Amino acid sequence: MEQYKKEFIEFMVDCGVLKFGDFTTKSGRKTPFFVNTGFYRTGTQLRKLGEYYAKAIHDQYGLDFDVLFGPAYKGIPLSVATTMAISEFYQKDIKYCSNRKEVKDHGDTGILLGSPISDGDRVVIIEDVTTAGTSIGETMPILAAQGDVKVLGLVVSVDRMERGQGTKSALSEIEDNYHIATTAIVTMKEVVEHLYNNPYKGRIVIDDALKASIDAYYEQYGVQE
């Protein structure tokens, strides 16, 4: 596993973004782990997060694209932080763009924040975590309405590696439905691999009992791909 992936996993633990316990997802699944990027709350944390996203995008897609699109609301700071990191570390100026939940009819009008999107633009979408693909279903028509754009792919922070609406993972369903590539900074398999019985700051984050709960969850909701 690449070093930056290990560092990102520990970063999520430090920020309280990656939590273990008893949670319920939006889809109603009882889950022993939860990823909430709303717990990135400081400028320092957002700067580091942007660096990890930039590395994942660079590794998967390169930087030969024009716009990084972050769907409202959580995608807004993600797109800003990541385009800044790309500029700093790769000396590449990528435009950032997000949508509004409501169309603005005065001043800076329209549905978009940040850069306009034009015919011929190549777009990468950035999100926090995708479990059902609902946000992408809302985002693709917005992008299509801007002109003849090419969506290269989607990047998320964590691939939960569980079924979406059908038998495939949520990311695989997005690839099939929208014919775009997907990637994540890390997968839950990598998270477990790095944290299971591996002391971090003097404690075991994933012990045998928690590992058994995670395994049971994937027995029920996991995918074999």
CATH of the domain at 158: 3.40.50.2020
Confidence of residue 103 (pLDDT cuts 50, 70, 90): low
205: pLDDT strictly greater than 50: yes
Which residues make up each annotated binding site?
Answer: 26, 73-74, 100-101, 104, 106, 127-135, 160
- Give the pLDDT confidence score for residue 141 in this predicted structure: 93
pTM score, two decimals? 0.92
95-104 β-sheet, strand order: 110-114, 95-104, 67-70, 122-126, 150-159, 181-187
Over residues 61-80, mean pLDDT: 95
**Number of domains composing the chain:** 1
Predicted confidence (pLDDT) per residue in 12-44, tens digit: 999 999 999 999 887 788 999 999 888 999 999
Q: Which of 30, 104, 150, 189 is catalytic?
A: 104
Q: Is the C-alpha dihedral spanning 140, 25, 39, 16 positive or negative?
A: negative
Exposure string (b/e) for 43-52, b if CB count within 10 Å is 16 or more? eebbebbbbb
pLDDT at 25: 81
Residue 109 has pLDDT above 60, yes or no: no
Higher-confidence residue: 77 or 165? 77
User: Can 104 be counted among the known catalytic residues?
Assistant: yes
Per the annotation, binding residues for 5-phospho-alpha-D-ribose 1-diphosphate are 26, 73-74, 100-101, 104, 106, 127-135
Domain that holds residue 74: 3-221
Element holding 38 (H helix, E strand): none
Active-site residue identified among 19, 58, 106, 189: 106
Q: Which residue numbers belong to the known binding site for orotate?
A: 131, 160
The helix/strand/coil state of 88 is helix
143-193 residue pLDDT tens: 999 999 999 999 999 999 998 888 889 899 999 999 999 999 999 999 999
Catalytic residue list contains 168: no
* Rounded Cα gap, residues 7 and 86, in angstroms: 18
Length of the chain: 225
Q: State yes or no: pLDDT of 104 exceeds 80.
A: no
Pull the structure tokens for residue 209.
């009992």
Secondary structure (H, E, C), 126-173 = ECCCCCCCHHHHHHHHHHHCCCCCEEEEEEEEEECCEECCCCCEHHHH
Q: What is the mean pLDDT of the chain?
A: 92
